[in-house]
Amino acid sequence: MSKPIILNAAELPARTQAELASLFTVLDLPKHTDEARAFLAQHGAAVRGIALRKTKIDAAFLDALPALEIIASYSAGLDNLDVQSAKARGIRIENSSHILAEDVANTAIGLALALTRDIVKADTYVRSGNWATHGALPLGRSISRMKVGIVGLGTIGAAIAKRLRAFGSQLAYYGPNRKSVDLPYYDDVTRLAADSDLLILTCPLTPQTHHLVDAKVIDALGPNGFLVNIARGPVVDEAALIEALNTQRIAGAALDVFEHEPQVPAALIANPRVVLTPHIGSATEETRTAMADNVVDVLASHFGIVGPRSVAALAAHADADKAVAAL
């Protein structure tokens, strides 16, 4: 029986590419737009699955793949995919939000602590020798005593909430729908910001959340409020944030994502009340490996193929059975 044909539209680790090649007939999507369009016109009719990362997939792209059954995304965000068109076709969509949630939540907490306790500034202060000559730094703020608003209580937001509960923060959340959780719910992000000392953004980027955090929300957060964004850059109106920082209308911001990354505005780089990281939310060896493995595993499962981790699981069960039999 011939192998299912998969379109590789992702930059994946060599091991993952080798696994895909062993299970499927893999077609690599050309990087240049014109070449990709011609490639899809020639081969698209046979493609049944996609391994996706950052490639832009719109309705026209999907139309070139009439036999497509599943899209397996390495990433959590699906802002590069026309989700509505895919769902209208009944195409299965799988992402990695359940895999990267723990490390992204850890990053969010790390950024919140770095921001509210001036950890980056404190490191520079010690290295420069200013501690000995200028004395102690000004006091920071305690997230254990803060009201923290979480914008988007999905898998990642829930993981952040679990950590903040341990810190003792007072939590509330905003989203399109109320969740079955024991937390105060806001259906208006501006009201949540007004009632928060710290706002953490974890929502997906959609047309509805583009510039969700605008000047009005930032002003509601206020001059003593902090903002942490580990969602997507365009969720925040970056120009409005810069203006608020420059006019002291917000206490500070910690940003792992940016509106036009990897380009970061000079005004953010120059501002000492901003903590910046280069989109490292899920960037640990363990999680990135698991994200890549998930692409292979969901494709294999969808097509009823025994993949490498399925083989390992079967072997582990067999070893366990042998151990029980030897007792």
Catalytic position from the list 94, 102, 232, 259: 232
Separation between Cα atoms, residue 158 and residue 114, nearest integer Å: 21
Contacting residues for 122 by C-beta, under 8 A, at least 6 apart: 137
Catalytic position from the list 43, 141, 279, 309: 279
As given in the structure block, the two tokens for residue 108 are 């969010």
19 is catalytic: no
Residue 81 pairs in a beta bridge with 57
Separation between Cα atoms, residue 178 and residue 313, nearest integer Å: 38
Q: In what order do the strands lie in the sheet with 92-94?
A: 25-28, 5-9, 49-52, 70-73, 92-94
| Sign of the dihedral defined by the CA atoms of residues 317, 318, 324, 327, in that order | negative
Catalytic position from the list 53, 261, 273, 309: 261
| Selection from 53, 47, 69 nearest residue 11 by Cα | 53
Q: Give the chain's length.
A: 327
List alpha helices for the chain, DSSP H: 14-23, 33-43, 59-63, 83-88, 97-116, 119-127, 130-134, 155-167, 189-194, 215-221, 238-246, 266-270, 285-302, 308-326
37 is catalytic: no
Neighbour-count burial of 315, counting CB atoms closer than 10 A to its CB (0-12 exposed, 13-18 middle, 19+ buried): exposed
Residue whose entry in the numeric block shows the structure tokens 């990267």: 100
User: What is the number of alpha carbons within 13 Å of residue 198 lying toward its C-beta?
Assistant: 28
127 is catalytic: no
Is there a contact between 155 and 204 (Cβ–Cβ < 8 Å)?
no
Which string of DSSP letters, residue by residue, matches 266-307? Answer: HHHHH-TTEEE--S-TT-SHHHHHHHHHHHHHHHHHHTT---
User: So which residues are the catalytic ones?
Assistant: 232, 261, 279
